[in-house]
Chain A
Amino acid sequence: MLQRALHNLDRRLRTAGESAAAHPDWKDRAAAIRRETLLDLDGWLDRLEHSLVARGVHVHRASTPADARRVVVELAQARGARTVVKSKSMATEEIDLGNALEDAGLTSVETDLGEYIVQLAGERPSHMITPAIHKTLPQIRDVLAKEAGTDLAVDREALTAWARDRLRGEFLRADIGITGVNFAAADTGTLVLVTNEGNGRFCTTLPRVHIAVMPVEKVIPRLADAGILLPLLTTHATGQALSNYVTMISGPRRAGEVDGPDELHVVFLDNRRRTLLGTRYEEMLACIRCGACLNVCPVYRNVSGHAYDSVYSGPMGKVLTPLLSGGTEGADLPYGSTLCHACSDACPVKIPLGDMILALRADVPDPHSGARRRRRIFWTVWARAWSTPSGYRLTTALGRVSRGRVPGLQAWTSTRELPRPARESFRDRWAKEHA
């Protein structure tokens, strides 16, 4: 399934290769803008805060995910909110905000179609841009039909129409809209949000309060820089010259306006990002979350996003996860790489992901050195067994009998499929046909 979906994506991305933003010069300009930002991240953040406050926006600084969750939950509780609508955002996934809101007794609804499906299925997104990429249409039907309580056709239009109606109701009911931020311009105090479905527009138009969670590196010096970065982001994310909707928000609803939120809050989320400044991983903060490195990664393409067991997957996840957790999470991820550097080549802002993955192997100790020893023992035994014909026959016969259900492998098979052994070995068939 993932293979087929990625193939569809490949086709679209290839045709997008003709657009201006795919030009190498464009990448150079974008890479330069991102690095200029990182040279004085704190300075740009101060300027951004100043511009936002001047526009009547409330700014909250959160150094840990727990701080960010507390800010949002307290804002919601103080306003007596009951329902929250969310637009897809990696930052809110990173701080696990949905669960925090539910724990505080609020209903939190994901409104991006893919994310909504994943939420109903009780799963986690498997791709940054298309969270339900691992699901087939019949599987999606099953998830939605269960929620609808009626049967639904396995038809793209019909399923979309059902979800549209259901989520419309949620938008109208919601007290608070929560979004991420793609870019935030320090000079004008403008939040830039990119979506295709329009759910982000609903979240920032109908509820009375809008809260945006913004990882600190999203700041850009000037709003004009968005003219370079936006086409680059969307070309590399979905192959579109520009995403369908780009919303530039400069403050809450103004006097006389009939829609838009009365209150706008922005939460600056640090979560160890600023500790990366000045280290060899600083450039990771240039990431614009386009997903290009995932799509080209041979490992990601085979194991899919869930196998990483972290919010950020693929090559950028291998680098970001151990860094943001201080090495307590995803320390083994840098080892799950072929070091082919396809990610470094694909990255539109020229982050040397391959080099960072290699460097992390040295900087973050592998938590699985015990497992590595066990693996070595396994391979030694295997090599012995398969160097004799009788040992080979015995083990493959065992494999056929067990039909691939090997005890002790659940940790592996919960997110990946084990290849099924053939019903009959080639040797047996040969013997039968030539008897």
Chain B
Amino acid sequence: MIDVFVAGLRANSCTVSGPMNTDEARATVVERASAHLLVACNDDVPLPALVDGLRQRGVEVLTPGDPAWAERLADAEVGITGARLAVAQPSAIALAAAPGAPRSTSLVPSVHICVVRVDDLLPTLADAMIGVAAGEMPSALTWIGGPSRTGDLEMITTLGVHGPRAVEIVLLD
């Protein structure tokens, strides 16, 4: 199931790393983000001490509780989020909006890094929707299959039209 998930995401122009443990995942995310000046990070990322790790590397971190969030988000180059769940077929991750998990973290910055727990992966969308519908719905549940794309220019795919140009998934086991 993990293989199907990873293959599907890669076919959709995502980068995928893992499955790996918490320390490795934290190191991977910090490494990836350290090339950027300002990074937005949701509270639902399942990696303890991630924000400190980023700050130690000299990266400025914007969190949803920050009063300057709305104003400064447009300057963030990377958005880091967790995921409520993921499905292997068709391959997609699902993000639930919540006070610590704004919708725009995965939308406004050019790069979206999503940390997904392997335990949250379900085989198919049809199965997943039965469970989702039975639970409490968040104000917005956003399914993401890959970077923002358009086929509007002569039906040839172009990435990054409104949302992120790159989606990087880090799998956590």
Contacts and interface: CB of A to CB of B under 8 A. Distances in A.
Nearest to B163: A198
Nearest to B107: A201
Nearest to B151: A130
Contacts of B35: none
A167 interface: yes
Nearest to A19: B90
Interface string B117-143: 000000011111110110001111111
B129 A245 contact: no
A43 to B, nearest CB: 19
B30 to A, nearest CB: 24
B81 interface: no
Contacts of B56: none
Contacts of A204: 103, 140
B143 A250 contact: no
A149 B151 CA distance: 25
B76 to A, nearest CB: 13
Contact of B161 (A9, A19, A197, A238): A197
Contacts of A185: 133
Interface in B64-82: 64, 69-70, 74
Contact of A248 (B141, B148, B149): B141
A42 interface: no
A100 interface: no
A330 interface: no
Interface stretch (B20-28, B46-54, B152-160): B152-160
Interface string A11-27: 01000000110000000
Contact of B150 (A113, A168, A205): A113
A248 B155 contact: no
B145 A228 contact: no
Interface of B: 8, 12, 64, 69-70, 74, 89-92, 97-99, 102-104, 107, 124-130, 132-133, 137-156, 158, 160-164
